[in-house]
């Protein structure tokens, strides 16, 4: 056990570093990437809306993903 373990297990930090928050950060990046690619003509503009809409951590079944069964609900 680390000296920092009790501090890192505080509710605000636990929430901040939760699976959902980490994955949402990755999804936010993917949404921004799609928007930037559309601005450069690499992705059709009409594809951006569905991509951004799909970039929600609520759409991921973390239990299933953790068992190796994929993550989509």
The per-residue pLDDT for 13 is 75
Render pLDDT for 3-46 as a digit per residue (tens, 0 to 9): 666 766 777 777 777 888 889 999 999 999 999 999 999 999 99
DSSP structure string for the chain: --TTHHHHTSHHHHHHTSHHHHHHHHHHHHHHHHHHHHHTTSS-HHHHHHHHHH--GGGB-HHHHHTTS-SB-
The per-residue pLDDT for 31 is 98
- List the domains of the chain with CATH numbers: 13-66 (1.10.275.10)
């Amino acid at each position: 056990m680390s000296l920092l373990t009790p501090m890192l297990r505080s509710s605000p930090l636990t929430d901040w570093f939760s699976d959902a928050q980490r994955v949402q950060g990755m999804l936010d990046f993917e949404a921004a990437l799609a928007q930037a690619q559309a601005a450069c003509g690499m992705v059709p503009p009409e594809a951006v809306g569905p991509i951004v809409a799909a970039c929600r951590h609520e759409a991921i079944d973390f239990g299933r993903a953790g068992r190796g069964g994929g993550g989509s609900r």
